[in-house]
Protein backbone atom coordinates (compact mmCIF):
# COMPACT_ATOMS: atom_id res chain seq x y z
CA UNK A 1 0.00 0.00 0.00
CA UNK A 2 1.18 3.47 -0.88
CA UNK A 3 2.40 5.61 1.97
CA UNK A 4 0.09 8.54 2.73
CA UNK A 5 1.15 11.98 3.89
CA UNK A 6 -0.59 14.59 5.99
CA UNK A 7 -2.75 16.87 3.84
CA UNK A 8 -1.03 20.25 3.59
CA UNK A 9 -4.23 22.19 3.09
CA UNK A 10 -6.02 21.15 6.27
CA UNK A 11 -2.95 19.95 8.24
CA UNK A 12 -4.56 16.56 8.63
CA UNK A 13 -7.78 17.91 10.14
CA UNK A 14 -9.91 16.77 7.22
CA UNK A 15 -11.87 19.99 7.47
CA UNK A 16 -11.07 23.55 6.61
CA UNK A 17 -12.58 26.89 7.47
CA UNK A 18 -12.42 30.27 5.84
CA UNK A 19 -14.08 33.67 6.04
CA UNK A 20 -16.94 34.32 3.67
CA UNK A 21 -19.07 37.45 3.92
CA UNK A 22 -17.51 38.21 7.31
CA UNK A 23 -18.48 34.83 8.70
CA UNK A 24 -16.46 31.69 9.37
CA UNK A 25 -17.53 28.84 7.14
CA UNK A 26 -16.36 25.28 7.67
CA UNK A 27 -16.44 22.40 5.24
CA UNK A 28 -14.81 19.11 4.34
CA UNK A 29 -11.31 19.72 2.96
CA UNK A 30 -11.59 19.39 -0.81
CA UNK A 31 -7.90 18.54 -1.20
CA UNK A 32 -8.09 15.27 0.75
CA UNK A 33 -11.84 14.68 0.75
CA UNK A 34 -11.93 14.81 4.54
CA UNK A 35 -9.48 11.98 5.16
CA UNK A 36 -6.70 14.31 6.35
CA UNK A 37 -4.12 12.52 4.26
CA UNK A 38 -3.02 12.57 0.65
CA UNK A 39 -0.80 10.43 -1.56
CA UNK A 40 2.78 11.66 -2.09
CA UNK A 41 2.09 12.95 -5.61
CA UNK A 42 -0.84 15.03 -4.43
CA UNK A 43 1.18 16.27 -1.47
CA UNK A 44 3.90 17.43 -3.82
CA UNK A 45 1.38 19.35 -5.94
CA UNK A 46 0.16 21.13 -2.81
CA UNK A 47 3.69 22.09 -1.85
CA UNK A 48 4.41 23.27 -5.38
CA UNK A 49 1.23 25.35 -5.30
CA UNK A 50 2.30 26.94 -2.03
CA UNK A 51 5.78 27.62 -3.45
CA UNK A 52 4.34 29.38 -6.52
CA UNK A 53 1.97 31.32 -4.32
CA UNK A 54 4.84 32.50 -2.14
CA UNK A 55 6.89 33.38 -5.19
CA UNK A 56 4.07 35.59 -6.48
CA UNK A 57 3.68 37.30 -3.13
CA UNK A 58 7.38 37.96 -2.83
CA UNK A 59 7.52 39.36 -6.34
CA UNK A 60 4.48 41.61 -5.80
CA UNK A 61 5.89 42.88 -2.55
CA UNK A 62 9.28 43.58 -4.12
CA UNK A 63 7.51 45.53 -6.86
CA UNK A 64 5.63 47.54 -4.24
CA UNK A 65 8.84 48.40 -2.39
CA UNK A 66 10.64 49.30 -5.61
CA UNK A 67 7.79 51.64 -6.54
CA UNK A 68 7.80 53.34 -3.19
CA UNK A 69 11.57 53.72 -3.15
CA UNK A 70 11.77 55.30 -6.58
CA UNK A 71 11.82 59.07 -6.00
CA UNK A 72 11.17 59.80 -9.69
CA UNK A 73 8.20 57.53 -10.29
CA UNK A 74 4.68 57.22 -9.02
CA UNK A 75 4.34 55.42 -5.72
CA UNK A 76 2.51 52.14 -5.27
CA UNK A 77 -0.64 53.69 -3.84
CA UNK A 78 -0.89 55.86 -6.95
CA UNK A 79 -0.54 52.84 -9.26
CA UNK A 80 -3.18 51.04 -7.23
CA UNK A 81 -5.52 54.02 -7.48
CA UNK A 82 -5.03 54.06 -11.25
CA UNK A 83 -6.34 50.51 -11.22
CA UNK A 84 -9.20 51.56 -8.94
CA UNK A 85 -7.87 49.36 -6.15
CA UNK A 86 -6.58 49.87 -2.64
CA UNK A 87 -2.85 49.26 -2.24
CA UNK A 88 -3.58 46.01 -0.42
CA UNK A 89 -5.94 44.68 -3.09
CA UNK A 90 -3.57 45.75 -5.85
CA UNK A 91 -0.68 43.89 -4.23
CA UNK A 92 -2.91 40.85 -3.86
CA UNK A 93 -3.96 41.03 -7.52
CA UNK A 94 -0.35 41.40 -8.65
CA UNK A 95 0.67 38.44 -6.49
CA UNK A 96 -1.96 36.28 -8.19
CA UNK A 97 -0.77 37.39 -11.62
CA UNK A 98 2.81 36.58 -10.77
CA UNK A 99 1.87 33.19 -9.34
CA UNK A 100 -0.07 32.28 -12.47
CA UNK A 101 2.85 33.39 -14.58
CA UNK A 102 5.23 31.29 -12.49
CA UNK A 103 2.95 28.31 -12.81
CA UNK A 104 2.92 28.68 -16.63
CA UNK A 105 6.68 29.15 -16.77
CA UNK A 106 7.43 26.11 -14.66
CA UNK A 107 4.96 23.80 -16.41
CA UNK A 108 7.67 22.18 -18.53
CA UNK A 109 10.26 22.00 -15.79
CA UNK A 110 11.69 18.62 -14.89
CA UNK A 111 10.55 17.00 -11.69
CA UNK A 112 14.03 17.55 -10.19
CA UNK A 113 13.92 21.25 -10.87
CA UNK A 114 10.41 21.56 -9.42
CA UNK A 115 11.46 19.68 -6.32
CA UNK A 116 14.33 22.03 -5.96
CA UNK A 117 12.01 25.04 -6.35
CA UNK A 118 9.73 23.67 -3.63
CA UNK A 119 12.61 22.90 -1.28
CA UNK A 120 14.07 26.35 -1.80
CA UNK A 121 10.73 28.02 -1.16
CA UNK A 122 10.09 26.06 2.04
CA UNK A 123 13.60 26.74 3.19
CA UNK A 124 13.40 30.49 2.55
CA UNK A 125 10.04 30.58 4.27
CA UNK A 126 11.49 29.00 7.41
CA UNK A 127 14.64 31.06 7.49
CA UNK A 128 14.42 34.11 5.23
CA UNK A 129 17.94 35.22 6.04
CA UNK A 130 19.47 31.90 5.09
CA UNK A 131 18.60 32.45 1.46
CA UNK A 132 21.87 33.14 -0.23
CA UNK A 133 23.71 31.32 -2.97
CA UNK A 134 20.83 29.13 -4.01
CA UNK A 135 18.45 32.03 -4.01
CA UNK A 136 20.68 33.90 -6.42
CA UNK A 137 20.33 31.04 -8.85
CA UNK A 138 16.54 31.38 -8.97
CA UNK A 139 16.42 35.12 -8.75
CA UNK A 140 17.96 35.42 -12.20
CA UNK A 141 14.99 33.39 -13.41
CA UNK A 142 12.54 35.50 -11.35
CA UNK A 143 14.04 38.75 -12.58
CA UNK A 144 13.52 37.93 -16.22
CA UNK A 145 9.78 38.51 -15.91
ZN1 LIG B 1 -7.13 18.11 3.68
- Nearest-angstrom CA–CA distance, 137 and 50: 20
Three-state DSSP at 134 gives helix
Q: Which residues, 6+ apart, have CB-to-CB distance to 25 below 8 Å? A: 17, 18, 19
Average pLDDT, the chain: 84
Higher pLDDT residue, 30 or 107? Answer: 107
Residue-level pLDDT at 139: 55
- Coil/strand/helix, residue 5: strand
pTM: 0.71
Maximum Cα–Cα distance across the chain: 62
Q: 39 or 137: which carries more pLDDT confidence? A: 39
pLDDT digits (tens, 9 = 90+) for 52-95: 999 999 899 989 999 999 989 899 999 999 999 999 999 999 99
Compute how many other C-beta atoms are within 10 angstroms of the C-beta atom of residue 83: 11
Give 53 Cα–ligand 1 centroid separation in angstroms: 18
Q: Which domains does the chain have, with CATH numbers?
A: 1-38 (2.10.230.10), 50-107 (no CATH)
Residue 144: pLDDT band by 50, 70, 90 thresholds? low
Which pLDDT score is estimated for 82? 95
How many angstroms separate the alpha carbon of residue 18 from the centre of ligand 1?
13
**Quick one: pLDDT at residue 4?**
85
Q: What is the pLDDT of residue 130?
A: 44
Report CA(65)–ligand 1 centroid distance (Å): 35
Read off φ and ψ for residue 136, nearest 5 degrees: -60, -35
Report the pLDDT value the prediction gives residue 138, as an integer from 0 to 100.
Answer: 54
Say if CB 143 and CB 102 are below 8 A apart.
no
d(CA 137, CA 139): 6
| CA of 45 relative to ligand 1 center, distance in Å | 13
Amino acid sequence: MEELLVCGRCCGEGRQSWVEDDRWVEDVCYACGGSGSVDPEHAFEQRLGAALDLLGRRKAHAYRCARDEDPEGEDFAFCAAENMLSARDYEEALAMDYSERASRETRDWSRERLEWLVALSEWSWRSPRAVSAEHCRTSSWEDRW
